Amino acid sequence: MGNESKDLVEAESTLRILIENLIDAQEGLQKIGEELKDEILKSFFLAESLKRAQFRGELENILHQKGVKDVNETGTAAGTFARAWTGLRAKLGGGEAGLLQAAEESEHTMMEAYDHALHSDLPSPMKEVLAEQVLSIVASHAAIRMALETRG
């Protein structure tokens, strides 16, 4: 890495994007979990929502350690739309398959955001945290796809 100040700005920007996506995922997974009737799926989604909150906390902690004071994010505009769409889908009778489809799409978006971050110029310790987190997201995505396939 070259200029430490410039590198911190780039790392902060990258982590903030992930934090915004994690907020979207956390809220979306919770909302879907609350809508599902299947208790096993409901528990899975609520647990995954909590994991996204934990991941967010880890990334915010990294930023705090680097001296970034304000890490108040609200999620992305696309995430807000997706959560609203998920709620509408549930109310209009999209059913479990529709909710699972929305979750699968959300997790796919999360994996893409992590992939982008992992290919950016971040310090190795940050990349290690991201690599650990994305493994959990990939496993969640696979589980949601499997649930979708067995119900579709």
CATH number for the domain that contains residue 105: 1.20.1260.10
pLDDT tens for 61-94 read 999 998 887 766 555 545 454 444 444 444 445 6
As for how many domains the chain has, the answer is 1
Q: Judge whether residue 33 has pLDDT over 60.
A: yes
Instruction: Please give the residue range of the domain that contains residue 59.
Output: 4-151
Q: What is the mean pLDDT of the chain?
A: 84
Half-sphere exposure (CA, 13 Å, Cβ side) for 44? Answer: 18
- CB-CB contact of 106 with 148 (8 Å): no
Half-sphere exposure (CA, 13 Å, Cβ side) for 1? Answer: 14
Q: What is the DSSP letter of 25?
A: H
Could you tell me which of 66, 62, 26, 64 has the C-alpha nearest to residue 47? 26
pLDDT tens for 10-29 read 899 999 999 999 999 999 99
